[in-house]
Structure 1
């Protein structure tokens, strides 16, 4: 699953390089697709019945599953891009959140970047926990603990209706990967397990609505949201982040975890 993971990473890298005020999410969608094709893959999002785009682009109060459109992005927007690739019959899935600069509203930008940074940090906390976990639901506990510790003084909520998942021959497989502490311990963590870990964090209430397009999930109170995701493999030597070019080395370093390449 390394190749589809790297194709997915390439699509997000293309978006990161191009995103700016004035560009549309439809333009970003085309760049992501071109990167996946250049890597020898195809978009797995386009294989989902009823969905016609390479990425989901969720802006401001949209949390996940936002449909790319022709609205130019504006300074200060917080933008989550979720992308996936299929190559050789195997899938990759990853997401990131970017806040666009707005020099006229530095407080808004700082507030939104903090939300994005804490959400990304919680993702890496969950991945780090997976490296030594005996049961899968230790991941969600680590994510929640990170958000509680680093989000003190802020009204952050972790979405409960949308969680991570297994990934392999299909983009979405069992088991579910919770982003918060639950009572069951979950499946045993052992070599062969591959999961997409994806915390979705909002400022304010975790209540959401689905827009009339039947895809876009939006916060009910209109507060901003962030979404980060990586696909991670457990193998006999350790873990490897399939959708990170360095296998997750940089993100895991603060947690004292070193990813091990798949033999």
Structure 2
């Protein structure tokens, strides 16, 4: 097996005294693991940093064998880790990708969306400029893995306007009029998820609560739940910015 690809580093763990096993997301081959000789060295640690883009080469004698991986830095996002909020966002979105995607299955839409989220974190002057992209990435990931929310129309009336809630049972939108008597049982649906544009902090927190509910219920049970620590760090920092 020989695969050469541009890839996004999603997770790295030490293996042995000097090596590391990295999990990279590629456009055509999906999430791929590989052993990097010397991957835990001082020279390679800045390369194998979550969020970085690398030129990767995977080599293995068979598809069942863990591939040997060599990686050259193509684009570094190391500077963002000096800022707590961007660092927390990158930690979360890459860790989520690494624990939920099956290895070796192509997810080109997720690759493009993850690349877009990371680029937005890098370019936006404040978190309000990229938080919406991060939430939409979570929604896309849920959809690609078979747990998508239906936000196109009301689950009860079928109307497509004034959608204000999401049913926690069905994952389908509910209109303001229909959902008002049951508001305490429904999840708020922030308008910016439907209309686009930049959101206020309160709306961002509501959106994270919405996606967090379904991620927790449908994708991150059992051993995967440990990754939620990264999300809690992110949401805690956003809550401080939002003043609550």
Question: TM exceeds 0.5?
Answer: no
- Say which structure, 1 or 2, has more relative contact order (CA 8 Å, 6+ apart): 1
Larger Rg: 2
> What TM-score do you get using the length of structure 1 for normalisation?
0.31
Provide TM-score, normalisation by structure 2.
0.32
